[in-house]
Structure 1
Amino acid sequence: MAGDRERFSTATRLKALGEQAAARVYRAGRRAGPPRRSRLTGRAALLALVVCSLVVALAYPMRQFVSQRSRIAEQQRRAERARAEVERLRDEKARWQDPAYVERQAREHLHYVRPGETGYTVVREGGPDTVRSRDEEAAARPWYSELWDGVDRADAGHRTR
């Protein structure tokens, strides 16, 4: 029995020694490969910091630059529209310098006639007393009639679409 114990303990010891040796070999194999480097080196971190600082430092001036360029473009468009308006007004002024144009405008808009001509004004049927503008007609009617007429017109417009 004493022999069994010694043999058992020796076998157990050998087994433990084998496991320790295997662990040492495993660890030695792991160390034998190239040493692991950190993905972010000090130089890379410094470069990233400089780039971020430049982006932050240039963001506001770039935004101002873009904003000012859009304002300049808008002012140029306004100036171009103003030039076109000035040109149109110069043309109109030149037309008003022509006596024939002035006479035609006076005849059309002011109903002027030349000496010796007879002017006619056409009025509605029923005489000049029955001629009313749309505003005068609306003022003569009660407010609620105008309201319902507006609703009816809106409804009729909705139905036709």
Structure 2
Amino acid sequence: MTRDSRSTRPTRARTTSRPTSGGAAKKGRQTAVRTATGGAQRTRATRPTRSPRSMRRLTVIGVLLVFLAVVITPTLRSYLSQRGQIADLNKKVAAQQADLGNLQKQKKQWDDPKYVEAQAGSRLGFAKPGQTVTVYVTNDPKTIADAKAQQDKNSTWYGKMWQSVVASGKH
């Protein structure tokens, strides 16, 4: 057979299923391909085949990862929720400590007799013997209307009815 009578299809070199020297399989195998025109060789990468043993390993690893995810997920969820609760409780503790500081300051103020006298005079209208108490009475219509509205709000239905009877006799 002459060179011209050969087929124009490229021929492929055979590959063996044995591992290369050193015992480690290559990641991408290459095959030599001869072209019909020049006879020069070029290499082409082919997909490596996986052995059943490596597929078994991948399956076991996958099952282990799924198992770990199923086991760890509830634990992680409860951990994160507890961390959130701890943060909320820490905020409450800080607010209560601030309130405690304010209450301690007020307690110190109330321990002072001068402060107690001032509060009794301003809030309750108390006076020491010899002091003059001044009470301001206003004729402001808004203040009077507010007082009547508050009185009407607090009275019962029969009290309102009796007030209307008394008011009708005055006119």
TM-score above 0.5, yes or no: yes
Q: 1:136 aligns with which of 143, 148, 153?
A: 148
User: How is 1:38-57 mapped onto 2 (pairs within 5 angstroms)?
Assistant: 38=50, 41-57=55-71
CA contact under 8 A between 1:123 and 1:131: conserved in structure 2?
no
Query: Partner of 1:119: helix, strand, or coil?
Result: coil
The unaligned stretches of length 5 or more in structure 1 are 1-21, 141-161
In structure 2, how many angstroms separate the alpha carbons of the residues matched to 1:94 and 1:36? 84
Query: Partner of 1:53: helix, strand, or coil?
Result: helix
- Report what 1:114 is aligned to: 128
User: How is 1:60-75 mapped onto 2 (pairs within 5 angstroms)?
Assistant: 60-75=74-89
- Report what 2:138 is aligned to: 124
Identity of aligned residues (%): 23
CA contact under 8 A between 1:95 and 1:101: conserved in structure 2?
yes
In structure 2, how many angstroms separate the alpha carbons of the residues matched to 1:51 and 1:134? 74
User: How is 1:95-110 mapped onto 2 (pairs within 5 angstroms)?
Assistant: 95-110=109-124
Please identify which structure carries the higher helix content.
1
The unaligned stretches of length 5 or more in structure 2 are 1-6, 16-30, 32-45, 154-171
Amino acid at match of 2:56: G
Please identify which structure carries the higher strand content.
2
In structure 2, how many angstroms separate the alpha carbons of the residues matched to 1:100 and 1:35? 95
Structure 1: 4+ residue segments shifted above 4 A: 28-36
Output the aligned Cα RMSD: 3.6
In structure 2, how many angstroms separate the alpha carbons of the residues matched to 1:35 and 1:123? 102
